[in-house]
Structure 1
Amino acid sequence: MGLQEVEYGARSRDVSASDKFQKPKEDVGEVNIDDEVSHKDYSVEDLFASTEVPTWWEQITIRGLLASAVLGVLFSIITLKLNLTTGVIPSLNISAGLLGFFLIKSYTQVLSRLNISHVRFTRQENTVIQTCVVACYGLAFSGGFGTYLTALDSKTYNLVNDGNSSGPDSTSDIKNPNLSWIIAFMFSVGFLGLLAVVPLRKIMIIDYKLTYPSGTATAVLINSFHTPHGYKEAMKQIYCMGKFFFFSFFFSMFKWFFSGYDASCGFDSFPSLGLKAYSNKFYFDFSMTYVGAGMICPHLVNISLLLGGILSYGIMWPLIEKKAGDWYPADVGGTNLRGLYGYKVFVSIAIILGDGLYNFLKISSISLWSLHKSRGKQLPVTQNNAMEEESRDEQRRKTMFMKERIPFKVAAACYLVLAVVSTIVIPHLFSPVKWYYVFISYMVAPVLGFCNAYGCGLTDWSLASTYGKLGLFIFSAWAGSHGGVLVGLVSCGVMMVIVSCSADLMQDFKTGYLTLSSPRSMFASQVIGTFMGCIIAPLTYWLFWNAFDIGNPKGEYKAPYAVIYRGMATIGVQGFGALPKHCLQLCYGFFILAVLVNILREQMVATWAGYGRWACYIPIPMAMAIPFYIGPYFAIDMFVGTMIVYLWQKINIKKAKLLIPAVASGLICGDGIWTLISAILALAKRHAPICMYFLPSNIVNSLNLPSY
């Protein structure tokens, strides 16, 4: 639904770049079509010709909504865990479709064995469940629980200002989490993105024939599930996912017994590469979530993460640390922006902004140029000629897609009403935010939503976080020292939710178009899923907030992008005056380097004959930025995941393409369920009975510990 901060694909939830990391193109390999069938002769809709398409209200079922709610909770937990630990969130769309199929199919099989009549499970119902789940857990990313909302709290304020109330921003820019105002904020902004671009669905899907790779891959997978051959393959995936789900769950439970009272206890702090490497955050922490994420993310993302960790914690920070007393005061606190911490935060910001700005300009240019070309090409083509050139599948899909319209006047009126309500509510939730800040955001948002949805359809890259950062800088600078940090962060959230939802909606319309799902059922499932997300995401975040030490830079849930977003807002208000010596020069250098690396990749692909194949080895700056701040420990886990995929593909590529998404989903979901249980145990003040801790042997000898 986003590396979230890295979003992989359109659902990517933040590395503004989050968006480019999810590459669903590999997921298409899961599609189960007999090899003997020629792709030209193959007709998907012929397989379903004898199956009547249910009406739009029949596609939305009670059992489907219950399954969506269960999966929405599960995926919200997973998304929030990733968001609050590393910000690296892979696409979970395929997992949502697979688990939705598993739940309903299991339910219908049980009813069949009990000789109880039931409604047939259709691909349209499967699509509605997947759409509802993605809309629900999408708010766990775009809702800012690991970014702009957490950046508002006093803990992040103290990290940025080292507890100094006269720091670069003031205490008036603090808004500590509270369940009531978070839910109110989600309801205020969550639905507007759905209405901003819904009247443009015909232009996007039919007139311009945008591909939306994530939506297409999901549709092909769902279509295959409901064919005889695809059903067999789906059951293989489900069986495999179940095995690794239980393995991940019980292994996470086993690790918990050794985690004690402190974040430095247990397998999560295992110095697997030695104590010296551990002190620089180089270790494998046995996290099945990160291993699973590494299996889903492209190889280049995982390698870029590891390379960023080596460059920063392996080379740069140890060298700068030796300059203590010269480049920065030796006695500053560990989270003071005038110390080494400032280099980590602002160099990461520079790389993120450089990569984000380049991709913003690139995708915008591609979108405008493609839009211009499409207009020119469409004029001479008559409707009759167009219909003659279309396949039977396309004709049937277009007929169904245009059968049930969502009137423009209704969408515009609803958007206007919700915008007025939100313009009234948000200033009451955040007193420094004036009504005209919100009003201007809502006037600009539909244009930005269209740009993001169009660019996403062409490239599968959602730039939601980039648009959010753009709003952050503009509004924080506009508001200035009078609550400018808070205004910038809230405006970032308003922009980010709307723009992200716009791209997600069009992705789902594409999925519905290819599965003959009604546009009304798709829109209704988005609304229902968003409604669920407005409640489930805040409740899940509140569980994490009360159970764990969110925002502690030495703990598990560091919320790294909260500090980065607040740092950006501080720059927007105060400029670069708080940076330590030579930090600004390093920021300029890495900003330019991020742009040049992207240009180099594009030039190698476009113009340098014979060198284009090497472009896939050029690292992704946005992915490299994350370990600059939080360290490379999670990158090692993800690299293990990518090595498993690489070796598996070498041994049996056909089996690997089929089962890798299932294995990765099982690892991520199993660990996610245990995270929920461990949060409940933490709320009940139940701690692990053992603390496994590692010390140098010479220190242990001096302690004269008793032998057992």
Structure 2
Amino acid sequence: MADEPSPVIPGVEEETEAQNGRLMMEEAFRETVVPNWRQQLTVRALVTGFILSVAFNFIVCKINLSTGVIPSLNVAAGLIGFAIVKTYTTVLEGCGLLKQPFSRQENTVIQTCVVASSGIAFSSGTASYILGMSSRIASRSDGLSMPENIKNLSLGWMIGFLFAVSFVGLFLIVPLRKLMVLKYKLTYPSGTATAFLINSFHTPNGAKLAKQQVRYLCKSSIGSFLWALFQWFFASSDGCGFSNFPSFGLKAFKKRFYFDFSATYIGIGMICPYMVNASLLIGGVISWAIMWPIIERQKGHWYSADIPADSLLGIMGYRVFIAIAMMLGDGLFHVVIMLIKTFSSLIKRTFNKEQVASIGSAGDGGHHVSGGIYDDERRAHYFLEDQIPTWMAIVGYLILAGISICIIPRFIFHQLKWYHILVAYSIAPILAFSNAYGCGLTDWSLASNYGKFAIIIFSAWVGSSHGGVIAGLAACGVIMNIVSTASDLMQDFKTGYLTLSSPRSMFFSQFLGTAFGCIMSPLVFWFFYKAYPVGDPDGSYPAPYSLMYRGIALFGVEGVSSLPKHCLTLSIVFFFLAIAINLLREVLVWFGHESYMYIPSPMCMAIPFYVGSYFVIDMCIGSLIIYVWERKNSQKAKDFAPAVASGLICGDSLWAIPATILSLAGVHAPICMKFLSYPVNKKVDNLIG
């Protein structure tokens, strides 16, 4: 969901080996009848998809508002969907009432629907560009609080905006599905791994393992939910409870180094690669332990001593704009390198006569595939059976684009004109193709990178006096939603291809999941927005990307004049540092040095610059758990760690639902557990005495 590659899901290696070794997964399903696309879109699958969409929207929204580091939830979606429907069908079968067995195609429909919905929770921008439009963030950022550069949040226009822009990418990428999946045979690692898991669930041995994984997931979910409930009793107000435990002392706590006992981020740490967590920790040490103390000593010289701590004209400006510079440097590098890889791959495929000949006519709609392998023939047959007409996709794109061009400038964002939206929709197909192709090669989605560059371009184009901040953020939403949903759908087409799921059922489940997300994402965000001080850097939900995205828009309309003293110089240094780190990694990869695995990610390093390292400690503990588990029993860790991690994330995040309801109802925890230094405690004792 973010700009980082999706964490590797157990099973993708085995699937790749199976393909290379010409093993035939479909042999296990030779006698299984493949249901048609209407039978794949069952009521039970869609109801399960809706229920899980609600739950996963809460999970993603909570993580988004906390730090924005979102792991892949495909495993949890596929596994929980399997558990719910399998339990339901087993009960019906025992009663003799089962009419249609639970198929892997139904499982794929559920997973697609849930991931599409939770994907909207990320690309909707409720924790980034949309929240950045609000007066709550504007008052803390720039002082550019003129009405033209503020958009008051409301459910009506947020839902309307998402419906206007979120479906366009689905129609845009449909005509390319055969090119990407059959002709170019792109890997789409997350889609392939998800398909492998779903296929394995529905084999006898896989079903047995899945039941064990479900037990692990349920136990960890219940445990993390109860732990979150226990913590609530000690957190009657901000600054109270286990989440503010000064694990490494009060001085470290003030520098945001502490363990906050979050099961969510322990689970995320268990899923994310070791280097992601290490990069986050390195960024936290560089910023909060070294840079910010040095800059704070220049208070009164580099910036006014009278400026509030949360103003972008003070220390917050350095935190935000240096982080933005690293993100833009990382984003620019990966956009360029992805374009180079995309075009070089296309050129190779175009001029490699032998490869084209071996691929045959599958990309042109024929049924002949490489090597005549049983798996490939069977998969290509079903992938080409229920086609979505290309003309329908093109007409759908043009109609939806036309509706957006008419509605967005007139009813939602008057700062944007119709020709701004037209330009956005003109360049979107190129960006969507590039992102979907690159995602198939590397599993990297650069949707939010394209969105960041759109902010700068459109905010500078419109100008501050005409609402350039809002225009840039809204344009970011248009581009980001189109590009993100397009690559997500192509991942799902790959999953459907490998599970013999109809492209038509994939498209409709993605369509329904997107619709669920367009409604649920703003509703869930609204719960948090009304119940908590969302956007407060010292609160539980600082929503770091909201201030960063608004900062990018400010940079677009005001240029370097909006930065405090020496902030530009430091930002330029870290911009090129991000490029240099990525370049070093690519060079090491090119020469085959395994040391590239130890090069940190600048994007990950940038996140703690603003938020701090409290969540990083949790994630590193998750890595430590996995490390110890792998040393003790590597196979068991491989089989069950993703289920345990998903359970920790789900249980802890789902506590947000009753916690938010209690907060809205005015119910507070009975105890405030707070930690004071000895001198402060003595003063409190004397005052009470």
Matched, 1:277 2:259: no
Deviation at 1:698, TM superposition (A): 2.7
Q: Structure 1: any 5+ residue segments left out of the alignment?
A: 8-17
Matches within 5 A, 1:400-415: 400-415=382-397
- Partner Cα distance (1:305, 1:224) in 2: 34
Deviation at 1:383, TM superposition (A): 3.1
The answer (yes or no) to whether the contact 1:30–1:221 under 8 Å persists in 2 is no
Amino acid at match of 1:579: L
Q: Give the corresponding residue for 1:147.
A: 128
Q: Give the corresponding residue for 1:423.
A: 405
Query: Which stretch of the first structure deviates more once superposed, 209-218 or 24-33?
Result: 24-33
The answer (yes or no) to whether the contact 2:169–2:482 under 8 Å persists in 1 is yes
Deviation at 1:185, TM superposition (A): 0.6
TM-score (norm 2): 0.96
Matched, 1:60 2:41: yes
Q: Give the corresponding residue for 1:531.
A: 515
Q: Give the corresponding residue for 1:14.
A: none
Query: Which stretch of the first structure deviates more once superposed, 383-392 or 229-238?
Result: 383-392
Matches within 5 A, 1:297-696: 297-377=272-352, 378-381=355-358, 383=360, 387=369, 389-427=371-409, 428-481=411-464, 482-607=466-591, 612-696=593-677
Q: Give per-residue Cα distances to partners, 1:33-52, cap 9 Å, x unaligned.
A: 9xxx9973631111101011
Aligned with 1:89: secondary structure?
Answer: coil
The answer (yes or no) to whether the contact 2:578–2:602 under 8 Å persists in 1 is yes
- Partner Cα distance (2:651, 2:687) in 1: 38
TM-score (norm 1): 0.94
Q: Give the corresponding residue for 2:262.
A: 287
Aligned with 1:197: secondary structure?
Answer: helix
Q: Give the corresponding residue for 1:15.
A: none
Deviation at 1:30, TM superposition (A): 8.3
Q: Give per-residue Cα distances to partners, 1:165-220, cap 9 Å, x unaligned.
A: xx3x6331111210111111111011001001101100000010000000000000
- Partner Cα distance (1:502, 1:592) in 2: 30
The answer (yes or no) to whether the contact 1:93–1:218 under 8 Å persists in 2 is yes
Q: Give the corresponding residue for 1:13.
A: none
Higher helix share: 2
> Is the alpha carbon distance of 1:384 and 1:87 closer, same or farther for their aligned partners in structure 2, counting shifts above 3 Å?
closer
The answer (yes or no) to whether the contact 1:31–1:221 under 8 Å persists in 2 is no
Q: Give per-residue Cα distances to partners, 1:56-113, cap 9 Å, x unaligned.
A: 0000011111100111011111111111110100000111000110010111122233
- Partner Cα distance (1:382, 1:679) in 2: 54
The answer (yes or no) to whether the contact 1:288–1:671 under 8 Å persists in 2 is yes
Q: Give the corresponding residue for 1:216.
A: 192
Amino acid at match of 1:152: M
Matches within 5 A, 1:26-105: 26-28=10-12, 40=21, 42-105=23-86
Deviation at 1:388, TM superposition (A): 6.2
Query: Which stretch of the first structure deviates more once superposed, 210-219 or 690-699?
Result: 690-699
> Is the alpha carbon distance of 1:382 and 1:279 closer, same or farther for their aligned partners in structure 2, counting shifts above 3 Å?
closer
The answer (yes or no) to whether the contact 2:8–2:190 under 8 Å persists in 1 is yes
Residue correspondences, number: 680
- Partner Cα distance (1:564, 1:356) in 2: 14
The answer (yes or no) to whether the contact 2:554–2:562 under 8 Å persists in 1 is no
> Is the alpha carbon distance of 1:200 and 1:340 closer, same or farther for their aligned partners in structure 2, counting shifts above 3 Å?
same
Matched, 1:226 2:202: yes
Aligned with 1:695: secondary structure?
Answer: coil
- Partner Cα distance (2:20, 2:245) in 1: 50
Aligned with 1:576: secondary structure?
Answer: helix
> Is the alpha carbon distance of 1:379 and 1:290 closer, same or farther for their aligned partners in structure 2, counting shifts above 3 Å?
closer
The answer (yes or no) to whether the contact 2:9–2:194 under 8 Å persists in 1 is no
> Is the alpha carbon distance of 1:30 and 1:647 closer, same or farther for their aligned partners in structure 2, counting shifts above 3 Å?
farther
Q: Give the corresponding residue for 2:137.
A: 156
Q: Give the corresponding residue for 2:365.
A: none
Q: Give per-residue Cα distances to partners, 1:617-660, cap 9 Å, x unaligned.
A: 11100000000011111111111111111111111111001011
Q: Give per-residue Cα distances to partners, 1:416-464, cap 9 Å, x unaligned.
A: 1111111111111111111111111112111211111001001100110
- Partner Cα distance (2:252, 2:68) in 1: 23
The answer (yes or no) to whether the contact 2:432–2:487 under 8 Å persists in 1 is yes
The answer (yes or no) to whether the contact 2:38–2:505 under 8 Å persists in 1 is yes
- Partner Cα distance (2:311, 2:516) in 1: 39
Amino acid at match of 1:696: S
Amino acid at match of 1:621: P
Deviation at 1:701, TM superposition (A): 2.6
Q: Give per-residue Cα distances to partners, 1:549-593, cap 9 Å, x unaligned.
A: 111111111111000000000100110112111111100100011
Q: Give the corresponding residue for 2:176.
A: 200
Aligned with 1:268: secondary structure?
Answer: helix
Q: Percent identity?
A: 50
Amino acid at match of 2:233: F
The answer (yes or no) to whether the contact 1:29–1:658 under 8 Å persists in 2 is no
Amino acid at match of 2:151: K
- Partner Cα distance (1:260, 1:691) in 2: 5
Root mean square deviation, CA, Å: 1.9
> Is the alpha carbon distance of 1:152 and 1:27 closer, same or farther for their aligned partners in structure 2, counting shifts above 3 Å?
farther
Amino acid at match of 2:227: F
Deviation at 1:116, TM superposition (A): 2.4
Amino acid at match of 1:501: T
Amino acid at match of 2:506: M
Amino acid at match of 1:19: E
Deviation at 1:496, TM superposition (A): 0.1
Matches within 5 A, 1:107-126: 107-126=88-107
Deviation at 1:595, TM superposition (A): 0.4
- Partner Cα distance (2:539, 2:274) in 1: 28
Amino acid at match of 2:457: I
The answer (yes or no) to whether the contact 1:32–1:224 under 8 Å persists in 2 is no
The answer (yes or no) to whether the contact 1:31–1:224 under 8 Å persists in 2 is no
Query: Which stretch of the first structure deviates more once superposed, 127-136 or 696-705?
Result: 696-705
- Partner Cα distance (2:686, 2:152) in 1: 44
